Structure 1
Amino acid sequence: MNRKRVIEIAANLFLEMGFLYTSMDELVRVSKVSKSNVYYHFSNKEEILESVVDYWIAMYNYAMEEVLNQQQFSVEQRVIMFLTHLSQGVQEREFKGGCPFITLAIQCPAQAIQLKERIGMFFTELQSKVSLLITQGIERGEFRNTIQPEEVAALFITNLEGALFIAETQKDATIIIKTVQQFMQLLR
Structure 2
Amino acid sequence: MAEIRIRNTNEIISGDDNVRKFLSRYEVIYEHWDVGKLPAQLQDNFTLSDEQKSEILNTFEAEIQDLVARRGYRTWDVITLSEATPNIEELLAKFEQIHTHTEDEIRVIISGAGTFIIKGDDETGYFDVNLVPGDLISVPENTAHFFTLTDERKVVAVRLFVEENGWIAHPYDDPTFQKS
What TM-score does the superposition give when structure 1 sets the normalisation length? 0.28
What TM-score does the superposition give when structure 2 sets the normalisation length? 0.29
More helix as a share of residues = 1
